[in-house]
Chain A
Amino acid sequence: MLSHIVRRVLQSFAVLGVMSLLVFTGVYAIGNPIDILVNPHADQKEIARATAALGLDRPLIEQYFGFLKHAAAGDLGVSFAFNVPAIGLILERMPATLELATAAMLIAVLLGIPLGLWAGLKPDSAAGKTIMAGSILGFSLPTFWVGLMLIMVFSVWLGALPTSGRGPTTNLLGIPVSFLSLEGLRHLILPAANLALFNLALVIRLARIATREALQQDYVRFARAKGLTENRIVGVHVLKNALVPIVTVVGVEFGSVIAFAVITESIFAWPGMGKLLIDSINVLDRPVIVGYLCIVVTLFIAINLLVDLAYSWLDPRVRLGEA
């Protein structure tokens, strides 16, 4: 087990190194931010001064190692557009994104498991078929368009919910969050529902398949033979076993939700990291783009590592198979 953990951690660091190199050279090798950042009427001397100040005149390799050294110390450069440290800009917006992603995941799991369970227990009922048809639609619907339609129905037609922003935030252990006030919740519900859509469809499918498989198992037949109530069979024996694949997928999908939040945040003007990324791409603010990618990639690798280790702890066949 220990050697497995060490190997996976080392692997993760190697991936991190490769990704940082790819991202850095990709973003820094193409395009010249000077054209965008310096007044077009500036003379040669002024341009040269700005280039030197931003460190853009040094060779790429030198810029990369400088970047690595600073990144390790938590300094990802200064945003060209805001003229403040990029890491601060990103971290400042991270709680908003994490709150949105968590809310979306909660909706997907809390709605998806009961619906999937129902569809798995009664696959031929009208309700079961409707749930499955809804889940197929959830996979096909373009997420960004659904976001617009949600705004159209709930904000423009019904006038019930706000169209954009985060609303007032409350401090929870020093971190600003929206979900503690009613006004904040009203701002959160539409973007969270929008972001949840894909994973809701996914969880419904997983829960349905897992339920149907569990129903075939000997332990369920045995529980029936013992004369347990249907509630206990479904609530304990079926649900517990159906949860294993769902927990794994939800763990891995949390990373995707953070990436997909880019779209939802842009639609609902949610002040998170994703909206910052799109704004930064539009003005070629490279320190912020690189910083966002480094943070998201690190988050991803950490999530994958945790899920993988949890999985090999739950299922010894995984680590024995590799040895």
Chain B
Amino acid sequence: MTPNRQFAAEFAASRIAVAGLALLTLIVFAALFAPWISPQNPYDLARLELLDSRLPPLARSAAGGIYWLGTDDQGRDMLSAILYGLRTSVAVGVASTALALAIGVSLGLAAAWFGGWIDALLMRLADLQLSFPAILIALVLLAVLGQGLDKIIVALVAVQWAYYARTARAAALVERRKEYIEAATSLALSSGRIIFRHLLPNCLPPLLVLAAIQVAAAITLEATLSFLGLGLPITEPSLGLLISNGFTYLLSGHYWISFFPGIALLAAVVGINLVADRLRDVLDPHLRR
């Protein structure tokens, strides 16, 4: 068997992981194609019917269609709003994780490769940051920076980079003692080439598992911050903002405005976690029991 096939077979051995992968595929598909599969464009004000506001799930619209998940206070179809919100949430989660991965791994590899004061400085900084909970750091940054898509990504990257830096450094410290690195060094290759072409590919497995888990954490954190009113602006409604909007109407019994976006958020996080757990089991033989 080729390594890829073996990997796929090992992954598929867990039924719950396959279910997670199916769920995740569905969510990514829904997020990518939201504008084409949504019953309506929820942010085209001309299409909204105020007469249809706060209808329960499965209600008929004035025009004869069905609102599967009900409507919000402006007569917006919740299913469409959720699909669009999922798109924003997933995009922010993936973008911030990718950026944090790139920055954190570069710093972690540099720390392991150069050692000395660079290593000491970077790791003390990471220690300092990891001793505070992510939500606190994100709150401080957003209090300072203000609202906006770019600002929330900055906050999410700042929260995440230290995890990658530490993991990359730990993996690289083990790898750099191995013979292939010695061989590359004796060929007088440049540091940059050795780090990125030789060291990095061999440090990847634990980093990929970490990144998968962190995407879920980033999506949840973004939703939480948006819920508190410190995340994305009203023009780019993510799932957190939809839930926050529904909070106002929850007390009068209109549960669906908050309930369904939360289910979508939960489905995304559970799907990612199931896949990440299995990836860790397959990629990291140390953890096998």
Q: In the complex, what residues of A have CB within 8 A of residue B216's CB? A: 140
Contact assessment for B229 and A282 in the assembled complex, using a CB-CB cutoff below 8 Å: yes
A47 contacts chain B at the CB level, 8 A cutoff: no
Cα separation A139 to B253 with both chains bound (whole Å): 27
Cα separation A262 to B136 with both chains bound (whole Å): 9
Contact assessment for A142 and B266 in the assembled complex, using a CB-CB cutoff below 8 Å: yes
Of B40-48, B142-150, B168-176, B186-194, the one with at least 4 CB within 8 A of chain A: B142-150
Query: How far does the Cβ of A35 sit from chain B's closest Cβ, in whole Å?
Result: 13
B224 contacts chain A at the CB level, 8 A cutoff: yes
Q: In the complex, what residues of A have CB within 8 A of residue B227's CB? A: 144, 263
Contact assessment for B269 and A142 in the assembled complex, using a CB-CB cutoff below 8 Å: yes
Contact assessment for B223 and A278 in the assembled complex, using a CB-CB cutoff below 8 Å: no
Q: Which residue from chain B places its CB closest to the CB of A155 in the assembled complex? A: B251
Q: In the complex, what residues of B have CB within 8 A of residue A260's CB? A: 133, 135
Q: Which residue from chain B places its CB closest to the CB of A280 in the assembled complex? A: B143
A84 contacts chain B at the CB level, 8 A cutoff: no
B107 contacts chain A at the CB level, 8 A cutoff: no
From A139, A277, A300, give the contact of B132 (CB < 8 A): A300
Cα separation A259 to B224 with both chains bound (whole Å): 13
B262 contacts chain A at the CB level, 8 A cutoff: yes
B243 contacts chain A at the CB level, 8 A cutoff: yes
Cα separation A282 to B143 with both chains bound (whole Å): 8
Beyond A140-B269, A263-B224, whether A255 also contacts B251 by CB under 8 A is no
Q: In the complex, what residues of B have CB within 8 A of residue A137's CB? A: 270
Number of interface residues of B (CB under 8 A): 38
A156 contacts chain B at the CB level, 8 A cutoff: yes
Contact assessment for B228 and A266 in the assembled complex, using a CB-CB cutoff below 8 Å: yes
From B141, B259, B262, give the contact of A142 (CB < 8 A): B262
Q: Of residues B141, B220, B228, which shows the largest number of chain A Cβ atoms within 10 Å of its Cβ?
A: B228
Cα separation A149 to B139 with both chains bound (whole Å): 24
Q: In the complex, what residues of B have CB within 8 A of residue A68's CB? A: none
Contact assessment for A18 and B128 in the assembled complex, using a CB-CB cutoff below 8 Å: yes
B131 contacts chain A at the CB level, 8 A cutoff: yes
A293 contacts chain B at the CB level, 8 A cutoff: yes
Contact assessment for A15 and B140 in the assembled complex, using a CB-CB cutoff below 8 Å: no
Contact assessment for B144 and A256 in the assembled complex, using a CB-CB cutoff below 8 Å: no
Query: How far does the Cβ of B227 sit from chain A's closest Cβ, in whole Å?
Result: 5
Q: Of residues B131, B145, B216, B253, which shows the largest number of chain A Cβ atoms within 10 Å of its Cβ?
A: B131
Q: In the complex, what residues of A have CB within 8 A of residue B128's CB? A: 15, 18-19
Beyond A26-B140, A260-B133, whether A145 also contacts B262 by CB under 8 A is yes
Contact assessment for A297 and B132 in the assembled complex, using a CB-CB cutoff below 8 Å: yes
Q: In the complex, what residues of B have CB within 8 A of residue A145's CB? A: 223, 243, 258, 262, 265-266
Q: In the complex, what residues of B have CB within 8 A of residue A23's CB? A: 140
A143 contacts chain B at the CB level, 8 A cutoff: yes
- Which residues of B from 227 to 249 have beta carbons under 8 Å from A? 227-230, 240, 243, 246-247
Q: Is the interface of B mostly helix, strand, loop or mixed?
A: helix
Contact assessment for B265 and A156 in the assembled complex, using a CB-CB cutoff below 8 Å: no
Contact assessment for A148 and B250 in the assembled complex, using a CB-CB cutoff below 8 Å: yes
Query: How far does the Cβ of B261 sit from chain A's closest Cβ, in whole Å?
Result: 8
Query: How far does the Cβ of A202 sit from chain B's closest Cβ, in whole Å?
Result: 13
Query: How far does the Cβ of A142 sit from chain B's closest Cβ, in whole Å?
Result: 5
Contact assessment for B253 and A156 in the assembled complex, using a CB-CB cutoff below 8 Å: yes
B273 contacts chain A at the CB level, 8 A cutoff: yes
From A31, A163, A259, A289, give the contact of B135 (CB < 8 A): A259
Contact assessment for B228 and A263 in the assembled complex, using a CB-CB cutoff below 8 Å: yes
Contact assessment for B144 and A26 in the assembled complex, using a CB-CB cutoff below 8 Å: yes
Beyond A259-B133, A297-B132, A300-B132, whether A27 also contacts B143 by CB under 8 A is yes
Contact assessment for B224 and A30 in the assembled complex, using a CB-CB cutoff below 8 Å: no
Beyond A149-B262, A256-B133, whether A281 also contacts B139 by CB under 8 A is yes
Q: Which residue from chain B places its CB closest to the CB of A26 in the assembled complex? A: B144
Q: Which residue from chain B places its CB closest to the CB of A257 in the assembled complex? A: B133
B68 contacts chain A at the CB level, 8 A cutoff: no
Contact assessment for B255 and A152 in the assembled complex, using a CB-CB cutoff below 8 Å: yes
From A30, A149, A278, A301, give the contact of B145 (CB < 8 A): A30
Q: In the complex, what residues of A have CB within 8 A of residue B136's CB? A: 259, 296
Residue-wise, chain B 175-210 has the 8 Å CB interface mask toward A (1 for contact) of 000000000000000000000000000000000000
Contact assessment for B250 and A262 in the assembled complex, using a CB-CB cutoff below 8 Å: no
- Which residues of A from 278 to 323 have beta carbons under 8 Å from B? 278, 281-282, 289, 293, 296-297, 300-301, 304
Query: How far does the Cβ of B191 sit from chain A's closest Cβ, in whole Å?
Result: 30
Q: Which residue from chain B places its CB closest to the CB of A300 in the assembled complex? A: B132
Ranked nearest first, the 6 interchain pairs of A and B with the lowest CB-CB distance are: A145-B262, A259-B136, A256-B133, A259-B133, A26-B144, A281-B143
Q: Pick 8 A–B contacts, CB within 8 A, sort by A.
A: A23-B140, A144-B243, A148-B250, A148-B262, A259-B136, A263-B227, A277-B139, A278-B230
- Chain B: residues with CB nearer than 8 A to chain A? 128, 131-133, 135-136, 139-146, 216, 220, 223-224, 227-230, 240, 243, 246-247, 250-251, 253, 255, 258-259, 262, 265-266, 269-270, 273
Apart from the given pairs A142-B262, A145-B265, 10 other A-B contacts in the complex at a CB distance below 8 Å: A140-B269, A142-B266, A144-B240, A148-B246, A149-B259, A149-B262, A152-B259, A259-B136, A266-B228, A278-B230
